[in-house]
Structure 1
Amino acid sequence: MNKVLVVEDSPVVLKVLKHLLSQSDFFVPVLCASYEEAKQVLNEQDKASFFAAIVDLNLPDAEDGEIVDFVLSFSIPCVVLTATYNDALRLELLNKGVLDYITKDSRYSFEHVVGVVERLKKNQSVTALVAEDSSTSRLFIKALLEQYQFNVITVENGQEALSMLESEPNIRLLITDHNMPLINGYDLVSMLRQSARFQDLVIIGLSAEGDNALSARFIKMGANDFIKKPFYHEEFHCRVIQNLESQEMLETIRNMDALDALTQLKNRRYLFDEGQAYFDKQASSSTGVGLAMMDLDAFRQVNDIYGFMVGDALLKEIGGLILSCFPEALSARFSGEEFCIVAPGGVQFDDQLKGFIASLKETVFTEAKIPMTCSIGVVQTHDAGLEEAIKVADARLYEAKSRGRDQIVTG
């Protein structure tokens, strides 16, 4: 859990922020009503344990924003709340390194400030690539992104950017200048959008040259946005976050269509629509492909004895266990209590199945402490199709059932 320091003299605002932060699984609010109280907390507690701070600019014992400098002196990301808007002061605070300057003019203001802190948490798992031939601009953009907790990689031209994107599959954001040697930003975007692999990559173009036609060309070629240099860092942050959140929303919608809502495994439709390509890729490898059909033993008795709510909770926990035991597999809920696992074959798949069975027997599920076993039919092949492999594995699954359940049949 990450501590968030909240310094605010209004009891009502403190209560609202405490409520909003406490709804998150990641944050613990630490509340202070004055500058002196905040100083005492930061001097007595481990500063590194504070993930961020939300501070009122005008406190009764520090009316001139002293709390901001004090918090920033500990390198704690800081968001300022204030009752009045002052543009000159806002610029001064942002130049100091404050993340955002938000006026307390509605309930949305408080939701927005908590949203900024939540975004920081998300950004810690986002890798951004900056392609910029100017060392000054490259370092400036890197600093802006790191202020918002992004993991940042920098390169000097489009050719290096392509190589980095090929070798680092976790890059989710690309900031690219237009005028670069070897491959310019416009051509880089064009190359990337021709590959389905980079369809979810958020791309923002930059340039100090050209007119509005250049920004239109970038976006028509597939960039998510375009920013004209010079830009102020508040605009940069807003554009980056807005585009990331739009892409995350699209991915969420896509996942909803592909996932089984209860177990968070892929659903049957996804298995048959997308599974053949994954199956063929693994089948062509040296180890071949492994496919397992699993069915929980006597699951209907769980519903009869404990009810459907407990049965659903059990299936949810089984889904989590499958994901942990087969991290690289395509794992799908095939029907009610039946699951299909498609994974790299060979000894690795055998070991994963054994590990799953061992974990299943070591675990009692749900608050009802229900023990569970399963029957499994397995196929390992280099050439059979997905549907044919499912039929063979399903037949072996029912053979395992007929032999007394709680076992694996491989052929």
Structure 2
Amino acid sequence: MNVVRKILVVEDSPVVLKVLDHLLSQNSTFTPVLCATYQEAEDQLEGGNEAFFAAIVDLNLPDAENGEIVDLVLSNKIPCVVLTANFDDDLRLKLLHKGVLDYIAKDSRYSFNHVIKVIERLRKNQGINVLVAEDSSTSRLFIRVLLEQYCFNVIEVENGQEALAMLEKDSTISMLITDFNMPLVNGYDLVRMLRHNSRFQDLVIIGLSAEGDNSLSAKFIKAGANDFLKKPFYHEEFHCRVIHSLEAQEMLEAIRDLSCIDPLTKLKNRRYLFEEGEKIFLSSNKDISLVMLDLDRFKEINDTYGHLVGDSLLTLVSQEMQTAFYDELVCRFSGKKFCILSESGLNLKSKVEHFLADIKLKEFTEAKISISFSASLYSQSTEHFEDLVRKAGQLLRQAKQTGHDVFVF
């Protein structure tokens, strides 16, 4: 279920209000609350039962012409983005030091899109854990404040050795920001050690240093860091580098996911089954079970109702499988054939039997099609994961030869 987040928009221009309202409303998790004056915004903040997730404000309002709205929003601990018609570099720096997330000039259509992008990034950041490895308590605090402004969850350690231990302990950490000069294990060696471990290949790493020559940044990046920042740095530069590195990694993961997901059913595909299955097989001492299911008479359904109905049927059936086997890995093996991989195998036979019986009682698509599956379950030890797949396939062929709606195990 999507969590709805209220976004306070304070702007005296009806046109700009309408544009921001439209752009924010395109995201179902955002509810814009529109105000044209300082007083309206103050009333909303005082009378609202639910907290605001973020605010987009203009600096020059009819009843507050000198940016007073920023202090009001920040005093309520609401992340604030300034969208203004006049760009003033000194004012920009002053507001950034106050804690404003971004200072954006209304000079093009892209400005509005950028505002929305900042708000959407805040939503994504709520689920991202960032580890900061820095021996200076002052620098750690400064970095923590910058990250928390953008809604990241921050974990702190004082040296590279503690960072290694924390990363081993907490698999939810997505980003590491590490100083170079630290006791026990310095930042450069920390990066090299992490990149030699396949577990941390997707960890986003940003190096920091206040010393060293210009070659240090190249050394960090060649060792495997995603980016490097020389201290001291500006708020905006830090945020831009962090967000850019995260988005690059997210794009890479999205591309990787596309190669492992069946485009029709959105289940994991055959490639993923063999890649992930091999990992599970090796880590679980070969004690895993594999179910294969083949949709009966699917060719007849395609011939009778057409391929669009057949595709819709496969999608609906896949959703049923994901619901029934939410603890297992469900994959589309080929056309009308599916696999379910279980690490424990406990009660798997009864779960399959229940699914097969339940699926026959349902009707799918507007054509109200009834279906059945031929199925197999193989759970004996094998030398290789491919052997497990082959054995389950042999059992499935036996089931198909016996007739439709047969379960062999």
TM-score of the two chains, using structure 1 as the length reference: 0.89
Hey, what does 1:51 align to over in structure 2?
Answer: 53
**Conserved 8 A contact 1:276-1:385:** no
Q: Which moved more, 1:223-232 or 1:382-391?
A: 382-391
- Partner residue in 1 for 2:136: 134
Please report how far the alpha carbon of residue 394 of structure 1 lies from its aligned counterpart in structure 2 after TM superposition. Answer: 2.6
Decide whether the 8 Å contact of 2:260 with 2:268 is kept in 1. yes
Instruction: Give the distance between the partners of 1:355 and 1:195, measured in 2 at CA.
Output: 42
Q: CA deviation at 1:23?
A: 1.9
Q: Secondary structure at the match of 2:247?
A: helix
Larger mean CA deviation between 356-365 and 193-202 belongs to 356-365
1:155 Cα deviation after fit: 0.9
Residues 1:24 and 1:213: Cα distance change in structure 2 (over 3 Å): same
Q: Of residues 5, 9, 15 in structure 2, which corresponds to 1:6? A: 9
Consecutive unaligned residues in structure 2, runs of 5 or more:
none
- The reply on whether 1:22 has 2:25 as its aligned counterpart is yes
Give, in whole Å, the separation in 2 of the partners of 1:366 and 1:121.
36
- How does 1:163-242 map onto structure 2 within 5 Å? 163-242=165-244
Q: Distance in 1 between matches of 2:158 and 2:357?
A: 50
Q: CA RMSD in A?
A: 2.6
SS of 2:103's partner is: strand
3-state DSSP class of the match of 1:291? Answer: strand
Tell me the amino acid that sits aligned with residue 96 of structure 1.
Answer: K
Aligned position for 2:391: 392
Are the structure 2 counterparts of residues 396 and 238 from structure 1 closer, same or farther at C-alpha, using a change threshold of 3 Å?
Answer: same
1:122-161 map, 5 Å: 122-161=124-163
Q: Is the 8 A contact 1:127 1:171 kept in 2?
A: yes
Provide closer, same or farther for how the CA distance between residues 307 and 123 of structure 1 changes in structure 2, counting only shifts above 3 A.
farther
Give secondary structure in 2 for the equivalent of 1:175: strand
Shift of 1:222: 0.6
1:408 to 1:40, Cα distance in 2 relative to 1, 3 A? farther
CA contact (8 A) 2:376 2:407 kept: yes
Letter in 1 for 2:388: A
Q: Give the secondary structure class of the aligned counterpart of 1:334.
A: strand
- 2:45 is aligned to 42
**How far does residue 306 in structure 1 lie from its aligned partner after superposition?**
5.5
* Counterpart residue type for residue 165 of structure 2: S
Q: Provide Cα deviations, 1:281-315, integer angstroms capped at 9, x if missing partner.
A: 25515xx0111112234445655566544443443
Match of 1:248 in 2: 250
Any idea what the Cα deviations from partners look like across 1:37-83, whole Å, max 9, x if unmatched? 222333332242x2211112212222112222222222221111000
Tell me if structure 2 keeps the 8 A contact 1:6–1:54. Answer: yes
In the alignment, which residue of structure 2 is the partner of 1:340?
A: 339
Relative to structure 1, is the Cα distance of residues 162 and 4 closer, same or farther in structure 2, using a 3 angstrom cutoff?
Answer: same
Question: 1:53·1:71 contact (CA, 8 Å) conserved in 2?
Answer: yes
Kindly indicate whether residue 34 of structure 2 is the aligned counterpart of residue 31 of structure 1.
yes
User: Following superposition of structure 1 onto structure 2, how do residues 69-108 of structure 1 map, counting pairs within 5 Å?
Assistant: 69-108=71-110
Q: Distance in 1 between matches of 2:403 and 2:301?
A: 18
- Cα distance, 1:409 vs structure 2: 2.3
Local SS of the residue matching 1:159 = helix
2:123 corresponds in structure 1 to 121
Q: Which residue of 1 aligns with 2:294?
A: 295
In the alignment, what sits opposite 2:378? 379
The yes-or-no answer on 1:316 pairing with 2:319 is no
Q: Distance in 2 between matches of 1:256 and 1:197?
A: 21
- The answer to whether residue 289 in structure 2 is matched with residue 281 in structure 1 is no
Distance in 2 separating the partners of 1:280 and 1:219: 35
Q: Which letter maps to 2:37?
A: S
Distance 1:276 1:83, change over 3 A: same
- TM-score with structure 2 length normalisation? 0.90
What residue in structure 2 maps to residue 260 of structure 1? 262
Q: Name the CA distance, whole Å, in 2 between partners of 1:150 and 1:88.
A: 27
* Cα separation, 1, equivalents of 2:304 and 2:170: 50
Task: Say if 1:383 and 1:213 are closer, same or farther in 2 by CA, change over 3 A.
Answer: same
1:114-147 Cα shifts (integer Å, max 9, x gaps) = 0001111111111111111111211221121111
Q: Is the 8 A contact 2:58 2:83 kept in 1?
A: yes
Q: Which amino acid aligns with 1:103?
A: A
Report if aligned partners of 1:47, 1:74 keep a CA contact under 8 Å in 2.
no
Secondary structure at the aligned position of 2:184 is classed as coil
CA contact (8 A) 2:265 2:314 kept: yes
Query: 1:32 offset after TM fit, Å?
Result: 2.2
Separation in structure 1 between the aligned mates of residue 339 and residue 320 of structure 2, nearest angstrom: 14
Is this contact kept in 2: 1:283–1:383, CA < 8 A? no
Pairing partner for 1:110 from 109, 112, 131: 112
Alpha-carbon shift at residue 324 of structure 1 (Å): 4.8
Distance in 1 (CA, whole Å) between partners of 2:230 and 2:50 is 38
Distance 1:213 1:390, change over 3 A: same
1:381 alignment partner, SS class: coil
Listed one character per residue, the Cα deviations across residues 324-345 of structure 1 (whole Å, up to 9, x for unaligned) are: 5545644321112211122303
CA distance in 2, matches of 1:53, 1:362: 51
Name the CA distance, whole Å, in 2 between partners of 1:409 and 1:328.
22
Residues 16, 43 of structure 1: alpha-carbon distance in 2 compared, 3 angstrom cutoff:
same
Distance 1:109 1:283, change over 3 A: same
How far apart, CA to CA, are the structure 2 residues paired with 1:400 and 1:101?
A: 66
